[in-house]
Chain A
């Protein structure tokens, strides 16, 4: 949380003097992209928690979904110029039940340290979903109240949904039946 995003009362701005680098549309300091009629915010790990808080104050009060994604070997991803592509992404789907609108936040997480602040203090419902993302991708959530495996066994090694985790590692042995 070293860099603070644009202050909360600043709404959508483009080409503002605080942000001189480009003409990317922004919301709370994060780049906005609309694809397939869905609004997507791109952000990094430092701004993520404050962004979710600001969006929650804006009315996006329900964290409807949270999951990880691994972009290893996928070079077709389109990102705004202001965002540095990283291997992992944390995808958070938010819902505004008053205005019936949705918004998606995509957080870039570096492979070396996929660590991000938890949002369970804002959306308690994210607890199970963050645990699942930790199981499947090894994303770590700082300050999570219960960072234990949820779907995988406690002693499971590795993170199955990572692209470099191969499938079908357990060999099946066919044994002849005695006496035949």
Chain B
């Protein structure tokens, strides 16, 4: 158990109540140079409302603790009051930078309990959309990461590129975020006419822009100086803390659910897992940058391999009847009405499904009691778990580097607090 002893002995987590901290602040001890300061919850670099309590000695961070919960809205409780068809509208609001992944893991869980197969086309549409979403999420990371470290130009470029993807999402789903597009049984609508050209367009524009990022950021000495060797974490530490996604991969451990436990059609496409070497902030940046390139490879293959067919399951229990049928058939109208008012019933049972979101393993634990609403819906949010590595990454580093470390975890507070 050396890895655990190591974690414990570092004493990186500040476990101190508010009252205790206040008491310590009021006693002035000239020999004690440590002080406790508070960063956030409203700090531009905290990606929402993250608050970090830090114990400093001079400019060195000794112990720290992320304080979360400011964005808690009880979405898991809300889920128990929504039907399975309404469920995606709720979960999509958790990780607002990568909403399709939460919809996907929820839908996969419901489908596992229903034991229904979804058509191949729906699977490939889901994969295409998710990879595009991974690109937009990582582009947002590049933008905010640059901004946090003072590369303000990067913020504009990252957002500009993300816009290309969001414009396509708007065309397909009608919304730029919180799509409610992936639903139990398939997707909400087929891809619109001319979608190939739009995707092709994104694939043509992005590579040269990514190369510009390489010039602007990757090879630039100031950027390297600020990120290399900062916030180092080892594979053992990452696994012990339950960290997944780019944080685990930055340590050189090639763990990606798309490869390790393939879902959708990831076993039929060709892509590489990007890993780092040192587990530092730079590696996490470089992994995300290169994962955009890998996602583009998958999207390219989706363009070629996407089959024709239905975009949702032809299971009358789950799928509402086609719009045209409602005008001519009374039964179809009743059926449509029933599905949208009562919802469909899901057999009793419990299931855990997981997908690889841009931030790591995104899981959904779903318990059904046989009714039209979940009895318990729990989302295993990668940001929530990954945030635990923060004190260990910041321990012994400079206060200025804390910003770089928080940014490199890429937490989405909507998902952390749910």
Do A and B pair up? The answer is yes
Please report A residues at the B interface, Cβ cutoff 8 Å: 35-36, 38, 40, 61-65, 67, 69-71, 74, 76-78, 91, 93, 97, 100, 102, 104, 121-129, 132, 136, 145-146, 148-154, 160-161, 167
Whether the Cβ atoms of B363 and A93 lie closer than 8 Å is yes
B77 touching A38, Cβ below 8 Å: no
- Sorted nearest first, the 3 A-B pairs with minimum C-beta distance are A125-B242, A76-B348, A65-B380
Q: Is the CB of A126 within 8 A of B242?
A: yes
B369 within 8 A of A: yes
With A70-B376, A145-B15 given, is the CB distance from A125 to B240 under 8 Å?
yes
A36 to B81, CA, bound (A): 25
Most buried by B among A65, A70, A74, A93: A65
Give per-residue flags for B376-397: 1 if the beta carbon is below 8 A from chain A beta carbons, else 0: 1010100011011000000000
The answer to whether B352 and A150 have CB atoms under 8 Å apart is no
Q: Which one of A61, A93, A153 has the greatest number of beta carbons of chain B within 10 Å?
A: A93
Flag whether B361 is at the interface (Cβ < 8 A).
yes
Distance (whole angstroms) from the CB of A115 to the closest CB of chain B: 21
The reply to whether A36 and B349 form a contact with Cβ atoms under 8 Å apart is yes
Q: Return the CB mask of B229-261 against A: 1 if under 8 Å, else 0.
A: 000000000011111100000000101000011
Q: When the two chains form the complex, which single residue of A35, A78, A123 contacts B240, counting CB atoms closer than 8 Å?
A: A123
Q: Which residues of A lie under 8 Å from residue B349 when comparing CB positions? A: 35-36, 78
Name B residues whose Cβ lies closer than 8 Å to a Cβ of A.
4, 7-8, 13, 15, 17-18, 68-69, 72, 74, 76-77, 81, 112-113, 115, 239-244, 253, 255, 260-261, 348-352, 354, 361, 363, 365, 367, 369-370, 375-376, 378, 380, 384-385, 387-388, 417-418
Q: Is the CB of B367 within 8 A of A62?
A: no
| A104 pairs with B352, CB closer than 8 A | yes
Residues of A near B418 (CB, < 8 A) are 151
Distance from A51 Cβ to chain B, minimum over Cβ atoms (Å)? 17
- Contact (A102, B15) CB under 8 Å given A136-B76, A160-B74: no
Contact among A102, A145, A152, A167 for B69, CB-based, below 8 A: A152
Binding site secondary structure of chain A: loop
A69 and B376 contacting across the interface, CB-CB below 8 Å: yes
Shortest CB-to-CB span from B391 to chain A, Å, is 11
Q: Quick check: A154 and B18 within 8 Å, CB to CB?
A: yes
Nearest to A74 among chain B residues (CB) is: B369
- Nearest to A97 among chain B residues (CB) is B255
Residues of B within 8 A of A121 (CB): 4
Q: How far is the CA of A47 from the CA of B128 in the complex (A)?
A: 45
Distance A97 CA – B256 CA, assembled complex (angstroms): 10
In the complex the two chains form, is A146's CB within 8 Å of B13's CB? yes
B33 CB to closest chain A CB, in angstroms?
25
Q: Across the interface, which residues of A come within 8 angstroms of B76, CB to CB? A: 136, 161
